[in-house]
Amino acid sequence: MRTARFFIAPVTAAALALSLGACGSGGGGTDDGTIKVAYQKFGNFTQADELFKDVKADFEEANPDITVELVPIEAQQNDYFTKLALMNRSPSTAPDVMYEDTYMIKSDVEAGYLAPLDDYLAEWDEWDQFVDSAKEAGAGDDGKTYGVSMGTDTRGLWFNKDVLANAGLPEDWAPTSWDELLEAARAIKESDPDVIPFNIYSGKPQGEAAVMQGFEMLLYGTGDTLYEDSKWVLGSQGFVESLEFLETVFSEGLAPTPQQALDTNIGNTVQAEWLPQGKVGIALDGSWVAGNWLESGVAPWPEWSEKMGTAPMPTQDGQEPGAVSMSGGWTLAMGAGSKNPDAAFEFISMALNRENSLWFDVANSQIAVRTDVAEDPEYTKSNPTTEFFTDLVDVTHFRPATSDYPKVSNEIMVAMEAVMTGQQTPEEAAAAYDEAVVGIVGEENTTQG
């Protein structure tokens, strides 16, 4: 296993470097008889692949004259966005249906990659099953709907009860402030120096996972925010203090070493190996993590529900509402250049009908966005943590819904990496971030926090 991991990172990087170069030149072209479905398949995330393989079979049976061409993109999250964007740039490679992160929708709408779905949705009798927040998540700046939500998610603390017990911490551990979290991490380090006390994603290789599961889970618990009243907040105390928290965990050795943390595969490693093996005590991660350990996951672990505990991520000093969470989620969207939009939408509606949504939400530990799925006992009983993560919806935050967000997010990764590697102090990194954001959105769209 160790050797396998040791080889994955460079090979992935290599494959990526080679295939990115080749991406632009793909030939072919989609004729009326084919629809192309592009989605991510990487490491532990194979649920979309399974879903689309099933739907392809059903769809082709129902529409014998149409072939579904599945295009699994094997790349880490940010590289997935890049490859998808490159595919979208050329009519011969642009997909008809794509697996699209909610936070990319507004930006990709402005890039002209996505087609509005309103006409189709108006005639789809299952659209009213989707909750309002899920409908909004798929909207562009023009108010039209571009993505149909597959599920949403929340984020919180996962912990291995055995590791905490060794450090003298209770089974129902629930920190009420950052300090209590740090104290627990220090206690774990003291009880067993070989265990990584606390994992938080950080740095450029982790992409949006670092920003959302890592940085924003801190920032939105300080009372400060990234974006307020249509302006980007600069110079906030919370921003610096969130970076200081990162500096603390990395410099005190409470987190993975920076070189481990900057490994592209750390997400897979934490979820499939370190948590089950008790090599990580506490992990700040998403509601979907348990999906790895289900029978259908890549690292089945039947005892997980007894061994793993969950706790909400506390706010900085325990200020109201006491806990913080971030929500995102993925959608299915239609390519603007699709030559066969009717078939593309039929594919989307088939992939997200009640049965398939239920399967995907359970297999991928998503929070259901269809009311008929959310009420289904198969969903509610599927996973003992479903209730915990569904309740976090009360304290959850959403990322700034603007097309500049992906670029700003990149600057947050840069600041995180500079701090975790000790190249900049939190103040310097925050100042560099402020300057970069002004460069992206313009001085007039910023405000001092």
Partner 1 sequence: MALTSRGAARVVPLAPAVVLLALFMLGPVVWSFYGSFTNASLTGPAALNPEWIGLDNYAALIGDPDFPKSLWLTVVFVFLSAVVGQNVMGIMLAGLLRSAVKPVRSIASTVVVAAWVLPEIVAAFAAYAFFHSEGTLNTMLGGLGITGPDWLYSTPMLAVIIANIWRGTAFSMMVYSAALAEVPPELTEAAQLDGANGMQRLAWVTLPVIRRSISTNLMLTTLQTLSVFTLIYVMTGGGPGTDSSTLPILAYQEAFKFAQVGYGTAIATVMIIVGAVFSVIYIRALRPEVD
- Report the interface residues with partner 1, using CB under 8 A: 6, 10-11, 13-14, 17-18, 20, 78-79, 81-82, 85-86, 89, 104, 107-108, 110-113, 203-205, 258-259, 262, 264, 403-404, 406-407, 410, 417-418, 421, 423, 432, 439
Longest pairwise C-alpha distance within the chain: 65
The answer to whether the bond into 321 is cis (omega within 30° of 0) is yes
Closer to partner 1 by CB, 241 or 404: give it.
Answer: 404
Listed as own residue / partner, the contacts of 178-185 with beta carbons closer than 8 Å and 24 or more positions apart are 178/218, 178/221, 178/245, 178/314, 178/316, 178/317, 179/317, 180/314, 181/157, 181/282, 181/314, 182/248, 182/249, 182/254, 184/281, 184/282, 185/249, 185/254, 185/281, 185/282
H-run or E-run covering 434: helix 426-441
- Distance, in Å, from the CA atom of 25 to the CA atom of 424, rounded to the nearest integer, reads 40
Closer to partner 1 by CB, 362 or 412: give it.
Answer: 412
Q: How far is the CB of 106 from partner 1 (least distance, A)?
A: 9
Instruction: Compute CA 284 distance to the chain's CA centroid, rounded to the nearest angstrom.
Output: 13
Q: What is the CA radius of gyration of the chain?
A: 21
Closer to partner 1 by CB, 106 or 155: give it.
Answer: 106
Closer to partner 1 by CB, 117 or 262: give it.
Answer: 262
For residue 332, what are its two tokens? 């299915």
For residue 233, what are its two tokens? 């907040």
- Expressed in angstroms, the distance from the first to the final Cα of the chain is 47
Q: How far is the CB of 335 from partner 1 (least distance, A)?
A: 14
Q: How far is the CB of 322 from partner 1 (least distance, A)?
A: 35
Q: How far is the CB of 41 from partner 1 (least distance, A)?
A: 20
- Distance, in Å, from the CA atom of 102 to the CA atom of 139, rounded to the nearest integer, reads 9
Q: How far is the CB of 252 from partner 1 (least distance, A)?
A: 18
226: phi then psi, degrees, rounded to nearest 5: -85, -30
Q: How far is the CB of 160 from partner 1 (least distance, A)?
A: 24
Q: How far is the CB of 110 from partner 1 (least distance, A)?
A: 4
Closer to partner 1 by CB, 38 or 188: give it.
Answer: 38
For residue 105, what are its two tokens? 């929708």
Closer to partner 1 by CB, 147 or 314: give it.
Answer: 147
Q: How far is the CB of 385 from partner 1 (least distance, A)?
A: 33
Closer to partner 1 by CB, 86 or 174: give it.
Answer: 86
- Distance, in Å, from the CA atom of 181 to the CA atom of 198, rounded to the nearest integer, reads 9
Closer to partner 1 by CB, 177 or 421: give it.
Answer: 421
Closer to partner 1 by CB, 153 or 404: give it.
Answer: 404
148: alpha, beta or left? (left if phi > 0; alpha if psi -120 to 50): beta
- Distance, in Å, from the CA atom of 192 to the CA atom of 204, rounded to the nearest integer, reads 29
Q: How far is the CB of 256 from partner 1 (least distance, A)?
A: 12
Closer to partner 1 by CB, 271 or 403: give it.
Answer: 403
Alpha-carbon separation of residue 374 from 151, 352, 363, 393, 394 (angstroms): 10, 14, 14, 14, 16
Q: How far is the CB of 47 from partner 1 (least distance, A)?
A: 25
